[in-house]
């Protein structure tokens, strides 16, 4: 616990003559992870409030938020802790949904979960929790929080298959000093076991998939409600026209066909480039795809959690969730951007996705992948 928080808690204790208990608002999604996070904290003696964060849900999209909220409420009843709903609809719509749409409109592929963490879970939720008297917030993320002599550090979780540090690269020292991550030192299998042993109602609940707070839905159908399709040619890397696309905004680099045409002469095809100038989607067969791999990758809107990485030093990085860590080096760095060179060329480097840097187990931070200006769709 940091000294500032401890001082505040102690002063409150002296002024009110109440038991010295640390108040934690737990983000309860209605899933097994956040349920066990709350259980572990309760057993450690924290004064808990279970919180369901209500986001924004696209019109016409079937979403199970009411069931999730009910599941979260049941667990709180089992644990004997208060339950509240935190309204983050306005913030989610502006900072996550609108951001996502704007990125797709200019031809990039955003990561809404990262923005959800930055602006909603560790943004509006943290702000509202502190305003209501919380000392900390806690979530069910699989990540480890450490404290060095000066700062907080985020490290890879014990469960390497569930590690979620990739999604938290935007967090700051100001946010982390009020955060707890109870699951960082547990395996998912162990978490399930704890839930079953303690009879939690979410013990057998399946993991949620899809976009943060919304879940699974057809992204292309959703985007077509806001982005007018602009058909164009699909061409091979050699320039042969083999089909038609519905609009560059609806496709992602690295995506395997799905264009309404087959591989034909050997396929399947993979998207390797978006030619915005000619409104053309460039594809290649697997054996040709490697020609479009990149060793140099640039990122903007960078954030470094504990310290700024050093140029010339070897680091590890990933450009998508669950990708094996790859060796890289920083060759250029400024206040808000950086350029990296990888030891091995990277497949499907995608503008809008995040490049996240690690020093052994410590997650240092990252940035949003960008190409040149010509690689942005003109509206």
Q: What CATH number should be reported for the domain holding residue 250?
A: 2.30.30.280
pLDDT over 80 (residue 67): yes
Q: Render pLDDT for 22-46 as a digit per residue (tens, 0 to 9).
A: 999 999 999 999 999 999 999 999 9
> Do residue 125 and residue 173 come from a single domain?
yes
> Do residue 38 and residue 153 come from a single domain?
yes
* Max Cα-Cα span within the chain: 79
> Do residue 166 and residue 34 come from a single domain?
yes
Please work out, in degrees rounded to the nearest 5, the angle formed at the alpha carbon of residue 325 by the alpha carbons of 356 and 347: 85
Number of domains in the chain: 3
User: pLDDT higher for 332 or 371?
Assistant: 332
> Do residue 189 and residue 278 come from a single domain?
no
pTM metric for this prediction: 0.88
According to the model, what pLDDT value does residue 10 have?
A: 45
> Do residue 147 and residue 276 come from a single domain?
no
For the chain, give the mean pLDDT: 88
According to the model, what pLDDT value does residue 220 have?
A: 77
> Do residue 308 and residue 168 come from a single domain?
no
Please work out, in degrees rounded to the nearest 5, the angle formed at the alpha carbon of residue 76 by the alpha carbons of 18 and 175: 65
Query: What is the pairing mode between strands 269-275 and 280-285?
Result: antiparallel
Cis omega (within 30 of 0) for bond into 268: yes
Q: Does 211 fall in a domain? A: no
Burial of 40 from C-beta contacts in 10 A (0-12 / 13-18 / 19+): middle
Q: What are the distances in angstroms from CA 206 to CA 21, 30, 34, 157, 194?
A: 33, 11, 13, 21, 15
> Do residue 188 and residue 234 come from a single domain?
no
Positions marked catalytic = 116, 212
> Do residue 153 and residue 106 come from a single domain?
yes
According to the model, what pLDDT value does residue 229 have?
A: 85
- Host domain of residue 56: 21-197
> Do residue 31 and residue 156 come from a single domain?
yes
For residue 142, what are its two tokens?
């699989």
pLDDT band at 119 (very low <50, low <70, confident <90, very high): very high
| Residue the block writes with tokens 């067969």 | 285
Percent of the chain with pLDDT over 90: 69
According to the model, what pLDDT value does residue 62 have?
A: 63
């Amino acid at each position: 616990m940091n000294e500032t928080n401890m001082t505040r808690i102690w002063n409150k204790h002296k002024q009110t003559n109440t038991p010295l208990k640390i108040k934690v608002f737990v983000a309860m999604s209605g899933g097994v992870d956040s349920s066990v996070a709350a259980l572990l904290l309760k057993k450690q003696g924290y004064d808990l409030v279970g919180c369901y964060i209500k986001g924004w849900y696209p019109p016409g999209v079937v979403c199970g938020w009411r069931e999730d909220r009910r599941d979260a409420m049941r667990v709180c009843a089992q644990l004997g802790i208060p339950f509240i709903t935190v309204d983050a609809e306005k913030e989610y719509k502006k900072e996550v949904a609108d951001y996502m749409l704007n990125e797709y409109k200019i031809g990039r592929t955003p990561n809404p979960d990262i923005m959800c963490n930055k602006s909603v879970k560790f943004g509006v939720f943290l702000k509202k929790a502190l305003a209501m008297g919380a000392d900390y917030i806690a979530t069910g993320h699989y990540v480890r929080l450490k404290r060095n002599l000066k700062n907080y550090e985020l490290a890879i979780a014990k469960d390497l298959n569930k590690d979620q540090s990739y999604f938290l690269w935007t967090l700051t020292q100001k946010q982390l000093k009020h955060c707890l991550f109870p699951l960082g030192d547990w395996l998912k299998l162990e978490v399930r076991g704890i839930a079953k042993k303690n009879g939690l109602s979410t013990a057998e609940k399946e993991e949620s998939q899809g976009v943060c707070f919304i879940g699974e839905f057809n992204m292309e159908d959703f985007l077509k409600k806001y982005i007018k399709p602009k058909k164009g040619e699909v061409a091979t890397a050699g320039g042969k026209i083999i089909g038609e696309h519905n609009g560059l905004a609806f496709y992602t680099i690295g995506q395997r066909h799905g264009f309404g045409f087959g591989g034909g002469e050997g396929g399947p095809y993979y998207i390797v480039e978006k030619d915005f100038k000619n409104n053309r989607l460039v594809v290649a067969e697997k054996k040709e795809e490697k020609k479009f791999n990149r060793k140099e990758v640039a990122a903007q809107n960078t954030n470094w959690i504990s310290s700024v990485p050093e140029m010339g030093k070897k680091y590890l990085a990933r450009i998508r969730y669950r990708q094996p860590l790859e060796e890289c080096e920083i060759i250029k760095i400024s206040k808000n951007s950086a350029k990296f060179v990888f030891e091995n060329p990277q497949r499907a480097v995608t503008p809008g996705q995040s490049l996240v840097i690690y020093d052994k187990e410590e997650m240092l931070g990252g940035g949003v992948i960008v190409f040149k200006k010509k690689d942005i769709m003109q509206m």
